[in-house]
Structure 1
Amino acid sequence: MAERPRALFAMTPQNVPLVFPPELLARLRACTDVDPALVAQDFTVPRVRETLARTEILITGWGCPRLDPAALDAAPRLRAVLHAAGSVKGFAGPEVWRRGIAVSSAAAANALPVAEYALAMILLAGKDVFALRDRMRERRAVPYDGLLPGVGNHGRRVGVVGASRTGRRLIELLRPHDLAVALADPYVDAPEAARLGVPLLPLDDLLRTCDVVSLHAPQTAETHRLLGARELALMPTGSVLINTARGALVDPEALVAELRTGRLSAVLDVTDPEPLPADSPLYGLPNAFVTPHLAGSLGNEVARLGRVVVEEAERLASGGALLHTVDPGTLERTA
Structure 2
Amino acid sequence: MRVLLSQEHDDQVGRQLLADLDDVQVVLYNPAATRLSAQQRSAHVLIPPYRGSHRPRGLLEQLPDLRAVQLLTAGTDEWQPHVPADVLLVNARGAVAGPVSEWVLAAVLTLYRQWSALIRYQDAGVWAHRRVDADTLAGKRVLIVGAGPIGTAVARKLTAFDATATLVARTARAGVHAAAELPGLLAHHDVVVLAVPLTTETAGLVDAAFLAAMPDGAVLVNAARGRIVHTDALAAELRRGRLRAALDVTDPEPLPAGHPLWSCPGVIISPHMARTVPGTSRLCYTVAADQLRQLLAGHVPPNAVGRDATPPR
Q: TM-score, normalised by structure 2?
A: 0.81
Specify the alignment match of 1:114 in structure 2: 100
Give the Å deviation of 1:181: 1.2
Structure 1 unaligned blocks of 5 or more? none
Q: Which amino acid in 2 is paired with 1:56?
A: H
- Residue 182 of structure 1: SS of its match in structure 2? strand
Find out whether 1:326 has 2:304 as its counterpart: yes
SS at match of 1:151: coil
User: For residue 302 of structure 1, what is the aligned residue in structure 2?
Assistant: 281
Q: Specify the alignment match of 2:2 in structure 1.
A: 6
Alignment partners' CA distance in 2, 1:333 and 1:104 = 9
Equivalent runs, 1:56-135 vs 2, <5 Å: 56-61=44-49, 62=53, 63-66=55-58, 70-72=61-63, 74-75=64-65, 78-92=66-80, 96=84, 98=86, 101-135=87-121
CA shift, 1:244, in A, is 1.5
Structure-2 change in CA distance of 1:109 and 1:156 (3 Å): same
C-alpha contact (below 8 Å) 2:202/2:228 kept by paired residues = yes
Q: How big is the shift at 1:178?
A: 0.8
1:135-177 Cα shifts (integer Å, max 9, x gaps): 55557113308x96x7112211111122244223322332443
Inter-partner Cα distance in structure 2 for 1:66 and 1:325:
23
Using the TM superposition, name which of 78-87 and 150-159 deviates more: 78-87
Q: Deviations over 1:295-317 (max 9, x none)?
A: 13455312211222234445555
Cα displacement (A) at 1:260: 1.5
SS at match of 1:306: helix
Cross-structure match for 1:243: 222
SS at match of 1:170: helix
The 8 Å contact of residues 240 and 264 in structure 1, kept in 2 or not, is answered as yes
Aligned-residue Cα RMSD (Å) equals 3.3
- Tell me, yes or no, if structure 1 residue 263 matches structure 2 residue 278: no
Q: 1:172 aligns with which of 147, 156, 176?
A: 156
CA distance in 2, matches of 1:45, 1:126: 51
Runs of 4 or more off by more than 4 Å in structure 1?
A: 92-97, 135-139, 198-201, 314-317, 320-323, 332-335
Distance 1:40 1:292 in 2: 22
Asked if 1:284 corresponds to 2:263, the answer is yes
Q: Distance in 1 between matches of 2:80 and 2:206?
A: 29
Unmatched segments (≥5 aa) in structure 2 = none
Task: Return the index of the structure with the highest Cα Rg.
Answer: 1
- Please, what TM-score do these two structures have when normalized by structure 1? 0.77
Separation in structure 2 between the aligned mates of residue 102 and residue 172 of structure 1, nearest angstrom: 32
User: Are residue 45 (structure 1) and residue 35 (structure 2) matched?
Assistant: yes
In 1: Cα distance, 2:187 partner to 2:94 partner: 30
Question: Do the aligned partners of 1:20 and 1:303 also contact (CA within 8 Å) in 2?
Answer: no
Percent of aligned positions that are identical: 29
Give the conservation status (yes or no) of the 8 Å contact 1:228–1:250.
yes
2:146 maps to which of 162, 165, 172: 162
Return the letter of the residue paired with 1:8. Answer: L
